Every structure is written in structure tokens, then in C-alpha cells.
């Protein structure tokens, strides 16, 4: 890893419009009062026309991405929302606890449990509901479609 000359806390935030995970990261950055540069990425539908800068940071094309300067002077790049959240809290909220709790406390352990519940249960269900509502081809209904109707209806009622 190369050492860079940018100052610590020089965060670049890459996101696509409408990303729920990007919204989480934006909220964390703002709640912590961090200065960052926002880069809006509009993904191409053509695999041959990819933003090479963005894909060098996130080879799998995940959104969002942040880059920052580590205390040891090297540049880090993260493209998993949970990892981004944990990094920002551990690096920028360990003393003030603006949005976190003291390490190894009972409330921190409970908060992390709920955080991962959202990441592993709520977010995937939301993604599937959005897919069936917006992207699944219309046509004849089968048992596979019928089994998803309650989730799509619930997402509609929740305003998604």
C-alpha cells in the first residue's frame, strides 16, 4: 500500500442515485459531522462502458464506496455498507459516541445485533420486494409469484 499525502479525514464518498445503502452512509457521515466529497455514479448498462476509476475502487460494482486515509498514512477503500459503518464509527466516533456506544458495553452489543438484523434480514427482503415490484417481467402468475405478493404489498404500504 502506498502512503499518500492527502490529510487524514479526506473522505471520498461514491454512490448511485436512489441507493438505500448509500443513504445510510450519507446519514452516518453527516451525523458525525465529517467533511467528505460526494461522487454521484450513474452505472452504465453496458459492461464495456464502465467508469474505470470507480471500478478500480469497487471491482464488483458495489455501492456505496468510501475512501479515506488510514492513521498509518495509507489509503483505504471500502465497498460494503456494514464495513463502512463500522469503520467510520471506530475511526471517528470512538470518543464522542454521537451515534455509537462505548465499546464492549451492553448497549453497543445490542445495537450491533439490531444493526446486523437490518443488514441480513430487512435489507435483503427490501431488495427482493423492489425487484418484484419494478424489475420482474410481467406475464402469467405462478406459485413463485403468488408466494411473493404479500412482501410486495407490504413494501408498497411502507412507501417503497
Q: What is the pLDDT of residue 126?
A: 72
Q: Is residue 18 domain-shared with residue 69, that is, in the same domain?
A: yes
Q: Is residue 67 domain-shared with residue 124, that is, in the same domain?
A: no
At 88, list the grid cell.
Answer: 467510520
- Measured CA to CA in angstroms, residue 8 lies from 44, 56, 69, 106, 122 at distances of 32, 21, 5, 31, 34
Q: Is residue 127 domain-shared with residue 57, that is, in the same domain?
A: no
Selection from 4-8, 13-17, 115-119, 141-145 with the highest mean pLDDT: 13-17
Q: What is the pLDDT of residues 104-140, one digit of tens each?
A: 999 999 999 988 888 888 777 777 677 667 766 666 6
Q: Is residue 17 domain-shared with residue 87, that is, in the same domain?
A: yes
Q: What is the pLDDT of residue 155?
A: 79
Q: What is the pLDDT of residue 62?
A: 81
Answer yes or no: are the C-beta atoms of 18 and 73 closer than 8 Å: no
Q: Is residue 59 domain-shared with residue 85, that is, in the same domain?
A: yes
Q: Is residue 29 domain-shared with residue 85, that is, in the same domain?
A: yes
Q: What is the pLDDT of residue 1?
A: 39
Whether 142 maps to a domain, the answer reads yes
Whether 99 maps to a domain, the answer reads no
Q: Is residue 79 domain-shared with residue 16, that is, in the same domain?
A: yes
d(CA 150, CA 129): 9
Whether 121 maps to a domain, the answer reads yes
Please give the average per-residue pLDDT across 17-32, as a whole number.
93
- We report the CATH number of the domain holding residue 68 as 3.40.30.10
Q: What is the pLDDT of residue 52?
A: 65
Whether 4 maps to a domain, the answer reads no
| Number of structural domains found in the chain | 2
Q: Is residue 21 domain-shared with residue 85, that is, in the same domain?
A: yes
Residue 37: beta bridge partners? 12
Contacts of residue 7, defined as CB under 8 A and 6 or more positions apart, other chains included, come to 69
d(CA 142, CA 147): 9
Is the whole-model pTM more than 0.75? Answer: no
Please give the average per-residue pLDDT across 30-40, as a whole number.
94
Q: What is the pLDDT of residues 47-96, one digit of tens each?
A: 545 556 667 888 777 889 999 998 888 899 999 999 999 999 999 999 99
Looking at per-residue pLDDT, the higher value among 3 and 155 belongs to 155
Contacts of residue 66, defined as CB under 8 A and 6 or more positions apart, other chains included, come to 11, 12, 13, 14, 25, 36, 77, 78, 84, 87, 88
User: Comparing C-alpha atoms, which of 73, 51, 74 is closest to residue 63?
Assistant: 51
Whether 69 maps to a domain, the answer reads yes
Domain region containing 129: 110-157
Q: Is residue 26 domain-shared with residue 82, that is, in the same domain?
A: yes
Q: Is residue 70 domain-shared with residue 128, that is, in the same domain?
A: no
Q: Is residue 46 domain-shared with residue 78, that is, in the same domain?
A: yes
Residues 99/78/160/120 CA torsion (nearest 10 deg):
-80
Q: What is the pLDDT of residue 132?
A: 64
Q: What is the pLDDT of residue 4?
A: 47
Amino acid at each position: 500500500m502506498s502512503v499518500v499525502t492527502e490529510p487524514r479525514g479526506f473522505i471520498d464518498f461514491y454512490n448511485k442515485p436512489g441507493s438505500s445503502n448509500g443513504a445510510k452512509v450519507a446519514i452516518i457521515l453527516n451525523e458525525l459531522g465529517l467533511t467528505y466529497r460526494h461522487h454521484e455514479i450513474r452505472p452504465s448498462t453496458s459492461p464495456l462502458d464502465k467508469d474505470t476509476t470507480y471500478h478500480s475502487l469497487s471491482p464488483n460494482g458495489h455501492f456505496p464506496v468510501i475512501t479515506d486515509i488510514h492513521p498509518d498514512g495509507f489509503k483505504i477503500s471500502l465497498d460494503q455498507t456494514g464495513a463502512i459503518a463500522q469503520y467510520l464509527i471506530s475511526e471517528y466516533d470512538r470518543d464522542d459516541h454521537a451515534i455509537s456506544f462505548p465499546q464492549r458495553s451492553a448497549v453497543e452489543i445490542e445495537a450491533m445485533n439490531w444493526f446486523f438484523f437490518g443488514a441480513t434480514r430487512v435489507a435483503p427482503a427490501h431488495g427482493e420486494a423492489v425487484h418484484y415490484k419494478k424489475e420482474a417481467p410481467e406475464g402469467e402468475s405462478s406459485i413463485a409469484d403468488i408466494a411473493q405478493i404479500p412482501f410486495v404489498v407490504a413494501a408498497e404500504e411502507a412507501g417503497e
